[in-house]
């Protein structure tokens, strides 16, 4: 080999300064290359060991907590019954609450033998539909419900089968400890614990559904919802209405007890009702809430509005006279009274004898526009809005002429929800203030802030006097429970069947206040299509059924409501009129 060749072999080209700098920064100088390689291999082995340890841990978690992971997977695929706040009455008694119940689900991708799984599950749960189960298990979904709200024993039996891909999830199930007692007020929820009627639906529409979607509606973060209803009073009202419905073989019976000073609904019953623990009953059209969803001609109870309108105008007084010597003929229609008096009667007698002729003449004297305006001011011509989603709009004549004023004056030709009639009567006796009704607890100060004056104090005094006088000498005598100074007004309205009024099919109502000199509560009792009994001497009018039922209700609820009895009180003209600023 020549010297020139040797020089080419031993003299390697110099390493660029950039590479030397990078190598020195990464490895340093004078480092043993073999030791450095061994360190890199050890580091790689440690990294792979950590990765495999994490994967093994996750697999163990999936195996142990399959139900919880299944729950997470359902968040975007299937609704899970979320938590709801307790609903309690005004005294803290639980009306609705959540309990935990297991539900059965499948993870179709993990099921090895689908036919075997279907056979075992349907044998254990005979009410499962084989075709539906097969469709769900055969799907390509990662999660599918098989049966919601199973019993602990069913859960145990299925668990023993040991089927891969079958699991359980504890959900919130809504239960109603009081059963049907407050059914129409509370409402109910669907299988996903979402409110679909009554106060349950109101809860969802007032923020609960948003909390659920945000994930904040947990068991621990929700305060009970306090209602205005008193469960004790509710039970007494329902019990008396059930007795009356059975006794008079009525189609239905309903009632409301309202605080006239606050607008709170203390009790509300509509029979037939349903058990919210058995939702199928709620779909029966005969079980609607007749007090808010139904609209009816309220009959002679509407005469209270007619007389209040005229008295408030100042055009008449309690001693004004009205011609009741004969029937009132208006076009081809004839207005007559149940009890023909054949003479002139004063305003007080129009009320106590419940004279259709007198009420019609009073309304005509005020005029059509004044009549419409007064009823609108009393909230009788528009839909009443409360917390309950179920509400019906009144049926108001499209063209309101004099004939409409004549008939509406005594409660025909205008159909309203009974609850809005209660609201109007409250205003007539509480000093003249219209207060929206509520199913939530409300103080008198809160009610005063939203109250709207609709009649004068003097008019309210006169209406209380008339209602008490009617219990002393008029059609409400059988509801005059001693010690409670009851006042009241009866109503018997013939139902419209095939476009004609049917004399034998009536809707009876009785509205009462107690005590009449300083009212605290209004009681409305309604009986739909009562039948005549020997003790009613063949009569089916309100005085023979709704009024005595109202008396029974008052005798039971007055002590519960803290209304103390007072005996030996003077008659209404001395206790009510004499202490007011009114003139006759």
The rounded distance, in Å, linking the Cα atoms of 356 and 35 is 115
For residue 341, what is the DSSP state?
Answer: -
147, 415, 544 from 412: Cα distances, Å: 52, 8, 21
Residue 430 burial (CB < 10 Å; 0-12/13-18/19+)? buried
Q: List the structure tokens of 422.
A: 């209660």
Q: How far apart are alpha carbons 451 and 430 in whole angstroms? A: 11
Distance of CA 107 to the CA centre of its chain: 38
Residue 434's closest CA among 455, 451, 418, 411? 451
Distances 558 to 82, 368, 523, 554, 566 between C-alpha atoms, Å: 40, 40, 11, 6, 12
Annotated catalytic residue, options 228, 254, 270, 300? 300
Structure tokens at 172: 């919130």
| C-alpha triplet 291, 179, 285: angle, nearest 5° | 45
Strands (E), 409-533: 415-416, 433-434, 452-453, 487-497, 500-514, 521-528
Which two structure tokens, joined as six digits, stand for 1?
Answer: 């080999």
Q: What length does the chain have?
A: 584
Exposed, middle or buried by CB within 10 Å (0-12, 13-18, 19+), for 35? exposed
Residues 6 or more apart from 20 whose CB is under 8 A from it? none
Interstrand relation of 144-147 and 94-106 (parallel, antiparallel or unpaired):
antiparallel
> How far apart (Å, rounded) are the C-alpha atoms in residues 323 and 344?
5
Residue 439: closest CA among 267, 571, 564: 267
| Cα gap 302→296, rounded to integer Å | 11
Name beta bridge partners: 522. Answer: 258, 513
Separation CA 66–CA 164 (nearest Å): 10
Show Cβ contacts of residue 4 under 8 Å, excluding neighbours closer than 6 positions.
none
The answer to whether residues 553 and 525 touch, using CB atoms and an 8 Å cutoff, is yes
Q: b/e map of 452-473 (b: 16 or more CB within 10 Å)?
A: eebbbebbbbbbbbbbbbbbbe
- Cα angle value 543/547/551 (rounded, 5°): 145
Q: What is the DSSP letter of 227?
A: B
Q: Is 473 helix (H, G, I), strand (E, B) or coil?
A: helix
| Residue 443 bears catalytic tag | no
The catalytic residues are 300
């Amino acid at each position: 080999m020549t010297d020139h060749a040797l020089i080419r072999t031993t003299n390697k080209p110099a390493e660029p300064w950039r590479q030397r700098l990078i190598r020195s920064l990464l490895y340093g100088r004078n480092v043993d290359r073999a030791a450095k390689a061994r360190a890199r291999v050890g580091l790689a082995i440690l990294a792979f060991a950590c990765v495999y340890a994490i994967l093994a841990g996750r697999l163990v978690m999936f195996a142990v907590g399959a139900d919880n992971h299944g729950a997470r997977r359902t968040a975007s695929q299937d609704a899970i019954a979320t938590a709801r706040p307790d609903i309690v009455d005004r005294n803290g008694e639980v009306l609705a609450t959540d309990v935990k119940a297991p539900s059965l689900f499948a993870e179709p991708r993990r099921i090895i033998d689908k036919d075997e799984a279907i056979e075992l599950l349907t044998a254990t749960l005979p009410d499962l539909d084989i075709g539906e189960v097969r469709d769900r298990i055969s799907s390509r979904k990662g999660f599918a419900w098989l049966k919601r709200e199973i019993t602990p024993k069913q859960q145990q039996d299925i668990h023993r089968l040991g089927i891969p891909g079958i699991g359980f999830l504890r959900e919130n199930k809504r239960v109603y400890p009081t059963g049907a007692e407050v059914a129409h007020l509370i409402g109910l929820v669907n299988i996903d614990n979402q409110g679909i009627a009554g106060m349950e639906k109101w809860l969802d529409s007032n923020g609960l559904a948003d909390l659920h979607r945000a994930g904040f509606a947990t068991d621990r973060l929700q305060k009970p919802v306090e209602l205005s209803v008193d469960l004790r009073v509710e039970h007494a009202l329902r019990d008396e209405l059930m007795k009356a419905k059975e006794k008079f073989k009525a189609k239905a019976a309903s009632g409301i007890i309202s605080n006239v000073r606050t607008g709170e609904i203390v009790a509300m019953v509509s029979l037939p009702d349903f058990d919210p623990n058995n939702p199928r009953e709620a779909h029966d059209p005969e079980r609607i809430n007749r007090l808010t969803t139904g609209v009816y001609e309220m009959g002679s109870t509407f005469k209270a509005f007619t007389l209040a309108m005229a008295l408030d105008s100042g055009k008449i007084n309690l001693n004004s006279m009205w011609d009741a010597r004969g029937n009132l003929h208006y076009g081809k229609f004839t207005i007559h009274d149940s009890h023909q008096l054949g003479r002139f009667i004063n305003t007080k007698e129009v009320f106590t004898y419940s004279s259709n002729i007198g009420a019609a003449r009073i309304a005509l004297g005020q005029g059509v526009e004044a009549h419409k305006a007064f009823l609108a001011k009393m909230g009788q011509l528009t839909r009443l809005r409360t917390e309950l989603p179920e509400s019906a709009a009144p049926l108001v004549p499209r063209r309101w002429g004099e004939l409409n004023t004549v008939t509406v004056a005594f409660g025909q030709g205008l159909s309203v929800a009974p609850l809005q009639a209660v609201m109007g009567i409250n205003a007539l006796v509480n000093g003249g203030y219209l207060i929206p009704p509520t199913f939530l607890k409300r103080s008198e100060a809160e009610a005063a802030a939203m109250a709207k004056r609709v009649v004068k104090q003097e008019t309210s005094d006169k209406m209380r006097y008339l209602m008490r006088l009617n219990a002393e000498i008029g059609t409400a005598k059988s509801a005059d429970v001693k010690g409670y100074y009851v006042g009241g007004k009866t109503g018997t309205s013939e139902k419209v069947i095939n476009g004609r009024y049917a004399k034998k099919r009536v809707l009876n109502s009785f509205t009462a206040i107690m005590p009449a000199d300083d009212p605290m509560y209004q009681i409305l009792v309604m009986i739909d299509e009562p039948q005549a009994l020997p003790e009613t001497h063949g009569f089916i009018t309100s005085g023979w059924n709704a009024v005595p039922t109202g008396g029974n209700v008052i005798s039971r609820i007055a002590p519960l409501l803290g209304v103390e009895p007072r005996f030996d009180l003077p008659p209404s003209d001395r206790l009510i009129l004499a202490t007011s600023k009114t003139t006759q």
